[in-house]
Amino acid sequence: MAILNIVQAINLALKQEMKKDKTIILLGEDIGKNGGVFRVTDGLQKLYGEERVVDTPLSEIGIVGSAIGMAVNGLRPVAEIEFSGFLYSPFDQIISHAGRLRTRSRGRFSCPLVIRVPYGGGIRGLELHCESPEAILAHTPGIKVVVPSGPYDAKGLLISAIRDPDPVIFLEPLRTYRVVKEEVPEKEYTVPLGKANIVKEGTELTVISWGAMLKYTQEALSKTNYKAEIIDLRTISPVDTETIVNSVKKTGRCVIVHEAPRTCGLAAELIAQINEKALLNLEAPVERVTGFDVPYPLYKLEGYYLPDEKRILRAVEKVMKF
């Protein structure tokens, strides 16, 4: 089995699915000849031609809007938004249209499209290249939001996303694109949407994270002796409440780590779910370690903005010693 990073695993998923399903069309800026600014689609245009791997004009509303139309009319478009901050421009298309079409047409039309977006910070990127908009997306009905944390899941989740009958926003962790490597089977497999992954079982504390933050959360926890149960959320919407609640019922303590801003961040929703379904099992208030309610800073300050080992461990200690 080959050892791949996340970029390679996504490339493999696209390559294999496109071979199988001729209706899959990739479209985005610089994804063809250039193979994408992060090389995720490298070599695919050569393999499948310019009609199936399309270099589009610099036009996010054009990309998402026309991908919606393609999906309505029988294709399976996989659009790439080059950088996370560029996703805000086609939000109208996503929120007002992709997420509503099935409802508005009462199932007559649907929109099975995937929008891939490299997301998150920690790469000394330019302004608006390091956004974490998952909570805004999770708040939007009718779409699904998926975040892989490693290569194995990246491949399996992307294949599920492409085959899913509803629009899926696929957020790819930029910071760990090439850092996290693991064995990825060549053979076809899927990882189901809507199911969280218990990365490590434990009895004393539940720690929930996703995307790039998972790796740094795991590293921080490895410095403690607590028997932490670590959950990788994988799908942000619809969220796997059952796995979370069962874990918290077992451990009685919980810390949630995400790099998006705090207010109305996904942690807020998860805490609400825990309060509704496992309040009496809690031994301590749930702690969240998050980005701050500020615009993502220019990169000289991003180290202060992103949850780090110190902040994660402080929250863990607070919850454990409550």
Partner 1 sequence: MPRKLVTNFKVEYLQVLDNSGNADEELMPRLSSEQIKELYELMVLVRVFDDKAYNLQRQGRLGTYLQVKGQEASQIGSAYALDKKDWIFPSYRESGALITRNHPMYMLLLYWSGDSRGLESPEGLNNFPITITVGTQIPQGTGVAWASKILKEKVVTMIYFGEGATSKGDFHEGLNFAGVFQVPAVFICQNNGFAISLPREKQTASETIAQKAIGYGIKGIQVDGNDVFAVYKAAKEAVDKARKGKGPTLIECITYRLGDHSTADDSSKYRPKEEVLEWQKKDPIGRLERYMLKNKLLNDKNKKVITEKSTEKVEKAVEEYEKVAPPQPEDMFKYTYAQMPDKLQEQMKDLKGE
Q: Among residues 102 and 155, whose Cβ is nearest to partner 1? A: 102
In terms of Cα–Cα distance, which of 40, 296, 17, 271 is closest to 148?
40
Q: Which single residue is written with the structure tokens 């199988």?
A: 20
- DSSP 8-state class, residue 150: S
- Give the residue with the Cβ less far from partner 1, 9 or 169: 169
Instruction: Report the distance separating Cα 94 and Cα 80, nearest Å.
Output: 14
Using alpha carbons, select from 239, 219, 226, 205 the residue that is nearest to residue 175. 219
Nearer to partner 1, 57 or 279 (CB): 57
Q: Which of 97, 129, 139, 258 is catalytic?
A: 129
Size of the chain, expressed as the number of residues it contains? 322
Q: Which two tokens stand for residue 221?
A: 């926890």
Give the residue with the Cβ less far from partner 1, 164 or 302. 164
The footprint of partner 1 (CB under 8 A) covers 23, 25, 51, 54, 56-57, 59, 61-62, 64-75, 77, 89, 92-93, 96-97, 101-110, 141-142, 144, 164-166, 194, 238-239, 241-242
Q: How far is the CB of 107 from partner 1 (least distance, A)?
A: 5
Q: Is 129 a catalytic residue?
A: yes
DSSP string, 11-45: HHHHHHHHHH-TTEEEEETT-STT--TTSTTTTHH
- Cα angle 177, 183, 186 (rounded to 5 degrees) comes to 100
| DSSP-assigned letters across all residues of 181-239 | EEEE-SS-----TT--EEEE--SSEEEEE-THHHHHHHHHHTTS-S-EEEEE--EEES-
Shortest distance, CB of residue 307 to partner 1, whole angstroms? 26
Min separation Cβ 116 and partner 1, Å:
17
Tell me how far, at minimum, the Cβ of 56 lies from partner 1, in Å.
7
What are the backbone dihedrals phi and psi of residue 285, each rounded to the nearest 5 degrees, phi first? Answer: -60, 145
Tell me how far apart the alpha carbons of residues 89 and 69 are, in angstroms, rounded to a whole number.
17
Separation of alpha carbons 314 and 322, rounded Å: 12
How far is it, in rounded angstroms, from Cα 256 to Cα 274? 11
Q: 43 or 238: whose CB is closer to partner 1?
A: 238
CB of 108 to partner 1, least distance (A): 5
Tokens of 10: 């996504």
Annotated catalytic residues are 129
